[in-house]
Amino acid sequence: MLARIEPRELLAADGLFEDDELRRTFKAASPAVVPLPRAFFDAATAEHRLVDFFSVASLDAFGSFSRLELTAAAAIVAYVDKTQVGNRPPLDPPARESLGGALAIDAASRANLELSRTLSGERRGSLLHAIDRTVSGAGARLLADRLAAPLADPDAIRERLDAVDFFLAETTLRARLRRDLAGVPDMARALTRVSLDRGGPRDLAAIAGGLRAAAQLAGDLRDAGGAGSEIDRIALGLEAAPADLANRLAEALDDELPLLKRDGGFVRQGFRSDLDEARALRDQSRQVIAALQQTYAETSGIKSLKVKHNGVLGYFIEVAPNYAQAMTSEPLNRLFIHRQTLAGAMRFSTTELSELEGRIASAAERALAVELSVFGELARATVEAGGAIKRAADMLAALDVATALAELAAAEGYVRPRVDSSLTFRVDGGRHPVVEQMLREEGGSFVANGCDVGGEAAGKLWLVTGPNMAGKSTFLRQNALIAVLAQIGSFVPARAAHIGVVDRLFSRVGAADDLARGRSTFMVEMIETAAILNQAGPRSFVILDEIGRGTATYDGLSIAWATIEHLHEANRCRTLFATHYHELTALSERLPRVVNATVKVKEWRGDVVFLHEIVPGSADRSYGIQVAKLAGLPRPVIERARSVLAELEKSGGNNAASMLDDLPLFSLARHPASAAPVEAAPDLAEAELLAALDGLAPDELSPREALEAIYRLKALRAGIGRAHG
């Protein structure tokens, strides 16, 4: 569940946080783990905290909750109260989540399937990136949430599929809705900022725009008529958007809005008469000051006299220093009051100018105070209507997702899957949604493959063999992803698909270690396999790739063998099992639900051509050397590997020990120098070789002399070999 939610913050009682194993689990689940005092998790006061937070007399209207659930929920609202200093975001009331309501996918399987990000942490290359056609931020978030928690209720899944089916057929309506949705502001985030007193005029305008768009889109859906229960639900939510609030916000807010409310200037002219009066005095002050400057210039006879303003002196009169005598003498000194003498100017004031300054400052302050008052009224009205606004925002996101999935189906050729409560899993012409798009970008095409691992009482186990790079892992993953897409209510990349709802999805694909916990690659593989064998049931869907390859051949083969038997007899789940252990294909003869399948390949002039087609049967070779050649191993290594393989195949693997004598490294290890008699002194040939070496001066040799010396030394070495032979 933590892997599905991916919480930004995880709250833990400090007593639990002191446990080393739990602390590692917490940190793996969230980047920010917050240890809280025990008082936050006080069960005795939990219900009272929740009742107070949601302003209700009792929690009975929200459902029945256990003591632990109430304690956890109360800890959350207490943390919100503490961190938001009393401001309360628009939280939904507590609701119990059904354990069987969503497809359960553990953390390892989510990572292996690359649902929302690749193993390297990138969004590009993930399933979410491949299917996301949403046009709004809220829609993108909802699609990610649905992908994290696919449904497990066939009826709810069919309602979503009905909506996608409708919009797929209504091409013109879909295009118009998507165009309108692209311009809808993110009401949910704007509402949160306003509720926490962090919002500005633009947030109120975003809510107004979103509410107006909701009303328009609701009308479009109603005009369509008979679109299905999911679309009816969306239309009802959009129709419930508070239109009166939208009108009030539109009347109050100006067309051009500042970012911050403290900047003012966001209330429309004519909305408040007292604001208009204050603004008039504030804005007309420039004309008044200009007229006053003209009067003072005429009175003093100084044409260059200016009336200026700064933050220290306020309004003041400034003249050049050469007019100082006139300004400070009779009769001008009766009108002008000296304020400041500078090197390049003298500054004065008058009683009239000081009084005007006070009136202007007061008008600006009054105007801003009125605007802030208007903002406060609008913000309170918005928070009071928060429930209806949030529901409208949710419905806009749901409409975006439905139309986006229809757009995806139209663009990629996806089909509607049949989803029910059976144990069927049949896919005709299935494709990998991510790999298909990447191949298309490179000018290639994807080879579609079918899969049928369902059954009436228990699932089948397909044992898939074939060489590396042939597409076994892609085939395994694509069927798991098709199940995920079907259960989020999406069409799927196939010619046809019938999916009996999967309750748990397990994926053991790829190899990785966990050095932080001291786990080797093989240990991680075994832990993930153990989780599957201990938890999978008849409704589960399991993909396993290369179990047992991380240890010795016989150990690995034995583990893989026993795993298949356990999956067949105990778990009885729908399973795809890829392996290089060809010996395992014999299990199909005594396990009735084990089916052998292989990836077709073609050899051509010593090379292997991957056809990427899954067919009945089993592979008799792994083509590992051909794959190694494609990877670029040096030619001598490839040729030596082929000769070793030929010897091993000739002897049935029983001649491996004797073959070690042919390898210099192993030959030295098997025949150490101490095992043979040590001669007291080198023979004559060896003495001659040593003398020749001692006589060489490498730094003084020309290239030709060095080459001749090498030939001479090789001839001496050959003589020693013949003598010892």
pLDDT at 410 over 90: yes
pLDDT for position 680: 41
Q: What CA–CA distance (Å, rounded) separates 720 from 362?
A: 112
φ, ψ for residue 33, nearest 5 deg: -105, 125
382-401 pLDDT, tens per residue? 999 999 999 999 999 999 99
Lookup: tokens for 541? 């869907």
For residues 428 and 430, give the distance between their C-alpha atoms in angstroms, rounded to a whole number.
6
Beta strand pairing status for 541-545 and 574-578?
Answer: parallel
Q: pLDDT band for 479, please (50, 70, 90 cuts).
A: very high
Cα–Cα distance, 297 to 327 (Å, whole number): 12
CA-based torsion, 163, 167, 168, 174: positive or negative: negative
pLDDT of res. 137: 94
pLDDT at 40: 92
Q: Find the range with the poorest average confidence among 56-70, 438-452, 680-694.
A: 680-694
In whole angstroms, what is the distance from residue 310 CA to residue 696 CA? 92
Boundaries of every domain in the chain:
136-242+385-412, 273-376, 415-619, 634-670, 684-724
In the three-class reduction of DSSP (H, G, I as helix; E, B as strand; rest coil), residue 513 is classed as: coil
CB 414 within 8 A of CB 492: yes
Q: Which pLDDT band holds residue 672 (cuts at 50, 70, 90)? A: very low
Residue 718 has pLDDT above 80, yes or no: no
What is the percent of the chain with per-residue pLDDT over 90, rounded to a whole number? 53
Is residue 139 a contact partner of residue 213, using CB atoms and an 8 Å limit? no
CB neighbourhood size of 218 (10 A): 21
**What is the predicted pLDDT for the residue at 191?**
94
Exposure string for 537-548, b = 16+ CB within 10 A, e = fewer? eebbbbbbbbbb
Residue with tokens 């302050």: 365
Q: What is the pLDDT of residue 666?
A: 44
Please report, for residues 413, 416, 478, 604, 608, the alpha-carbon distance to residue 446 in angstroms, rounded to integers and kept in the order given. 13, 20, 12, 22, 19
Query: Is it true that 136-242+385-412 and 273-376 share their CATH fold?
Result: yes
Average pLDDT over every residue of 312-327: 91
Helix (H, G, I), strand (E, B) or coil at 306: strand
Residue 160: Cβ-neighbour burial (10 angstroms; 0-12, 13-18, 19+): buried
106-160 residue pLDDT tens: 988 999 999 999 988 899 999 999 999 999 999 999 999 999 999 999 999 999 9
Residue 651 has pLDDT above 60, yes or no: yes
**Which CATH code fits 415-619?**
3.40.50.300
Instruction: Of 550, 601, 539, 610, give the one whose Cα is nearest residue 579.
Output: 550
Among the ranges given (113-127, 164-178, 280-294, 626-640), the one the predictor scored with the smallest mean pLDDT: 626-640
Going by pLDDT thresholds of 50, 70 and 90, the confidence category of residue 667 is very low
What six digits make up the tokens of 263?
């900047």
In terms of DSSP bridges, do strands 594-604 and 496-500 run parallel, antiparallel, or are they unpaired?
unpaired
Q: Six-digit token pair at 64? A: 């029945």
Residue 331: cis peptide before it, omega within 30 degrees of 0: yes
Query: Is residue 180 helix, strand or coil?
Result: helix
Q: Which CATH architecture has domain 136-242+385-412?
A: Orthogonal Bundle (1.10)
Supply the mean pLDDT for the chain: 86
- Helices and strands of the chain, counted as H and E runs: 28, 17
For residue 603, pLDDT beyond 80: no
Structure tokens at 459: 């699932």
Residue 415's pLDDT band (cuts 50, 70, 90): very high
Predicted local confidence at residue 15, as pLDDT: 85
Compute the average pLDDT of residues 349-357: 88
Token reading at 17? 């946080």
pLDDT of residue 399: 96
Mean pLDDT computed over 473-497: 97
Under the banding of pLDDT at 50, 70 and 90, the label for residue 723 is low
pLDDT tens sequence across 15-52 = 887 888 888 888 878 888 888 998 999 999 999 999 99
The CATH number that domain 273-376 falls under is: 1.10.1420.10
Q: What average pLDDT does range 162-189 have in this prediction?
A: 95
Alpha-carbon Rg of the chain, whole angstroms?
A: 40
pLDDT tens digit sequence for 535-547: 999 999 999 998 8
Sorting pLDDT into bands at 50, 70 and 90, what band is 248? Answer: very high
